Structure 1
Amino acid sequence: MFISENPYAAPQADLKTPSTGASTFFIVAPRKLVLMVLLSQGFYTFYWLYKHWSAYRAATGARVLPIVRAFFSIFFLYALVMKIKQALDLKDPAYRWWPRCFVLGWIICAFLPFTYVWFVSSLTALKVGLCFAIAQVAMSVQIQHAVNHLENDSTGQANHRLTWANGIWICIGVSFWVIAISSALGLGAFVVEQ
């Protein structure tokens, strides 16, 4: 049994060994995020938001339903980004980013494709929709940069490799892209007629 020299002294922590606690939010490399969202035709966005809420629930014990919050992301993205902002303000108040602007832009890019799709040709809708998707991914990357900075992994090294599951989602997304492009170009009717 070890007896301290001063029984009234506060216990001293070993500051040389880093804590290996779970992260509060989902870490992913920005390049992987861009690749997965664009090639999976946005399906990865649902998984990305689900993993953020799931990690938050595991780290804080908050009573949230990650699958519901990911599915209704339009309504819950602001809450998620504000939680990221609060944690980042405590850790590094000097970190500069515009969370409210990113959330507002993300939501606008998610809603706008549903407003014009009936008024323009399918090819124009595809082009404009792709532009909005790229803008939405850019805002998602800015949010992810803040998360990675918060979790002390600015490059996302903890999650930078593509897995076989990522490959499956890319195949599904690319097949949807092929269908959307062929439909927009009118190639689907040409194949059916022959």
Structure 2
Amino acid sequence: MEDNVYAPPTANVVADAPAAGTGRFYVVAPFKFCLLFFFTLGLYQLYWFYMQWARYSRRHPQQTVWPVARAIFAVFFAHSLAKRLDEAVRERGERSDWAPIATATAYVVSQILGNVSDQLAARNIGLPYSDLIGTAMLVPIGLSLLRMQAAANRASGDPQGDGNRRLGPANYVWLVIGAVLWLLLFSNYLL
């Protein structure tokens, strides 16, 4: 023990678990991610991409990153995000057990197929198959983003996403909006 009463404390005061919102990337628990993505018919991905790029931009202020543009035009930036997630996982000294390029490519191809089939359905071409294909593309899109989310969680030191596991009031609002969207979608199939 030191005799100097004016010396700063020497105890380790850094918390072991990262606080919510302080990770390198946007952290979300897998169940919460799936719930929000599928209930909103994939609209959640806009917010998800925005948050990933916003966190990256905050940690790299020397780089010009426009999170809104990268969220809107995600098909052009998915590979870049996957690469950065993989680099961050490796920087933590963890083994990278996912294929970032293949995952981003699966996202881009599925997103393009989904958009094309949605456009065909909007023009009454190939109904009901074009509409069903557009809806079915939510599965590979969601699964590829879930793989990227797992890497984001690991890169942020929260592999299970415990820092963002609970649903907040805004999440419930989006779940209700998503339920209405699903009802509208199913009513089109039934009528």
Fold conserved (TM > 0.5)? Answer: yes
User: Gaps spanning 5+ residues in structure 1: where?
Assistant: 3-12, 188-194
Instruction: Tell me which residue corresponds to 2:49.
Output: 49
Instruction: Tell me which residue corresponds to 2:157.
Output: 152
Instruction: Tell me which residue corresponds to 1:24.
Output: 24
Residues 87, 14 of structure 1: CA spacing in aligned structure 2 closer, same or farther, 3 A cutoff?
A: farther
Where does structure 1 differ by over 4 angstroms across 4 or more consecutive aligned residues?
Answer: 13-16, 18-21
Please give the alpha-carbon distance, in whole angstroms, between the structure 2 residues aligned to 1:69 and 1:116: 23
Shift of 1:175: 1.3
SS at match of 1:83: helix
Please give the alpha-carbon distance, in whole angstroms, between the structure 1 residues aligned to 2:35 and 2:26: 17
Please give the alpha-carbon distance, in whole angstroms, between the structure 2 residues aligned to 1:128 and 1:153: 35
User: Gaps spanning 5+ residues in structure 2: where?
Assistant: 5-9
Q: TM-score of the superposition, structure 1-length normalised? A: 0.81
Q: TM-score of the superposition, structure 2-length normalised? A: 0.82
Instruction: Tell me which residue corresponds to 2:7.
Output: none
> Aligned residue pairs: how many?
175
Shift of 1:101: 0.5
Please give the alpha-carbon distance, in whole angstroms, between the structure 1 residues aligned to 2:56 and 2:23: 8
Contact persistence 2:27–2:164 (CA under 8 A): yes
Shift of 1:18: 4.5
Letter in 2 for 1:83: R
CA offsets 1:129-165 (integer angstroms, 9 cap, x no match): 2321011111111111111111111110000111111
Contact persistence 1:126–1:181 (CA under 8 A): no
Letter in 2 for 1:109: S
Instruction: Tell me which residue corresponds to 1:115.
Output: 116
Contact persistence 1:41–1:174 (CA under 8 A): no
Matched-pair identity in %: 25
Letter in 1 for 2:189: A
Contact persistence 1:126–1:184 (CA under 8 A): no
Question: Is residue 58 from structure 1 mapped to residue 63 from structure 2 by the alignment?
Answer: no
Please give the alpha-carbon distance, in whole angstroms, between the structure 2 residues aligned to 1:93 and 1:156: 17
Contact persistence 2:29–2:165 (CA under 8 A): yes
Shift of 1:80: 1.2
Instruction: Tell me which residue corresponds to 1:80.
Output: 81
Please give the alpha-carbon distance, in whole angstroms, between the structure 2 residues aligned to 1:88 and 1:184: 43
Q: Tell me the C-alpha RMSD between the 2 structures.
A: 2.2
SS at match of 1:24: coil
Range with greater deviation from structure 2 (20-29 or 92-101)? 20-29
Please give the alpha-carbon distance, in whole angstroms, between the structure 1 residues aligned to 2:81 and 2:73: 12
Please give the alpha-carbon distance, in whole angstroms, between the structure 2 residues aligned to 1:64 and 1:95: 25
Structure 1 segment 123-162 matched on structure 2, within 5 A: 124-162=129-167
Instruction: Tell me which residue corresponds to 2:68.
Output: 67
Residues 52, 130 of structure 1: CA spacing in aligned structure 2 closer, same or farther, 3 A cutoff?
A: same
SS at match of 1:176: helix
